[in-house]
Amino acid sequence: MSDKKIIAIVGSTGAQGGGLARAILADSGSEFAVRAVTRDPSKEAAQALQAAGAEVVQADLDDEASLERVFAGAYGAFCVTNFWEHFSGEKELEQARNQAVAAKAASIQHAIWSTLEDTRAFIPLDDDRMPTLQERFKVPHFDAKNEAHSAFEDAGVPTTFLHTAFYWENFIYFGVGPQRSPDGKLALTFPMGNAKLPGIAAEDIGKVAYAIFKAGDEYIGKSLFISGENLSGAELASAFSKALGEEVAYNDVDPDAYRSFGFAGADEMGNMFQFKRDFESDYAGARDTAKVRALNPELQDFESWLKANKDRVPIG
Ligand code: NAP
């Protein structure tokens, strides 16, 4: 039996947890072993992790006892929820609480909670610059994650609060890449004005998480704010123009217009971008890429991410 310290990774078949699992598995001298948590160990992503040396275990975020079982005997836990599977702030909070309670029960020595800012600290619910959503949130997938900090703190779990950023993979999977307008020209549409949008290659989040675990106690009880590069809409469009060899314009729209676009989550995304635009100095200002690169020297900037991924971005 290996004497490596086990990290139980929730979301191991997804972007963040998968990045962490791959970072550990790629490091043959690692002091850690991967316990990959999934609802379905037979799925391809889980099988790939197993083939690369991970232990794959089954648990469900809606079932606290199942989390306790898979956290048992582990040194660390990477904890994450997937808001976009259910679009509910309350459910996300419940799934976070289940992870915190299970981490405590299993005496986890270091948890990383994948989180984001509480936008209500900047825009109170009675501030009508943006609509209140789900009765008590401005940006549910931000606010609920942040509200969950107290679950880890109250349970007494030694936790690092890892504040992530917009994945550039959203240009591939989330339909926010360049779209062709009726005049035939390509445009990138965001309600961000001239503000910088911190972004990151999703795989880099896991690499940062690995560095946090490797640092031992250093980041326990601390909040970290990460991104790969903070670029304005115009700068993102210009990078696309260069990579695609065709001009991509930046189409700055009003957040109200964005909220009315009609796709699932448009109101949530409109509020999110408006928060990032109106509180740029707090949100982008907190994300210092030099500090992130010190933790993860392989951190990609947008140009290098785009060079490697431009063919995967569907051009609408
Ligand atoms: P992802 O790639 O969408 O994959 C979802 C992962 O969550 C899968 O590994 C899935 O595991 C696991 N999962 C979902 N529900 C589960 C449940 N009930 N029980 C056990 N596991 C469950 O995930 P991700 O992108 O790494 O993380 C999603 C989170 O990232 C969201 O909450 C989102 O708000 C946040 N985020 C996204 C962005 C962005 O720009 N897209 C930026 C910052 C933060 P199985 O299906 O294998 O069970």
Q: How far is the CA of 15 from the centre of ligand 1 (A)?
A: 7
Beta strand 186-190 pairing with 179-180: antiparallel
Q: Kindly state the tokens that stand for 252.
A: 């700055």
At residue 316, does pLDDT exceed 80? Answer: no
How many Cβ atoms are within 10 Å of 1's Cβ, its own excluded? Answer: 3
CA 165 to ligand 1 centroid distance, Å = 14
- How far is the C-alpha of 148 from the C-alpha of 248, rounded, in Å? 39
Tell me what pLDDT residue 288 has. Answer: 98
Residues 6+ apart with CB under 8 A from 207: 19, 20, 23, 296, 298, 299
Q: Is the CB of 168 under 6 A from ligand 1?
A: no
As a whole number, the mean pLDDT across the chain is: 97
> Tell me: the pLDDT tens digits for 155-195?
999 999 999 999 999 999 998 999 999 899 999 999 999 99
Alpha-carbon gap, residue 38 to 57, rounded angstroms: 6
Question: Is residue 85 lining ligand 1, measured as CB closer than 6 Å?
Answer: yes
Question: Is 287 touching ligand 1 by the criterion CB < 6 Å?
Answer: no
> Could you identify the atom of ligand 1 that is nearest to the CA of residue 92?
32
Cα of 82 vs centre of ligand 1, distance in Å, is 4
Q: 62 C-alpha vs ligand 1 centroid, how far in Å?
A: 14
pLDDT of residue 1: 58
**CATH assignment of 5-312?**
3.40.50.720
Mutate to test the pocket of ligand 1, among 82, 84, 271 (most ligand atoms within 8 A of CB): 82
Q: Residue 241 — pLDDT band, cuts 50, 70, 90?
A: very high
The Å distance, Cα 185 to ligand 1 centre, comes to: 34
Query: What are the residue boundaries of the structural domains of the chain, listed by start?
Result: 5-312
Query: Within 13 A of 48's CA, how many CA atoms are on the CB side?
Result: 11
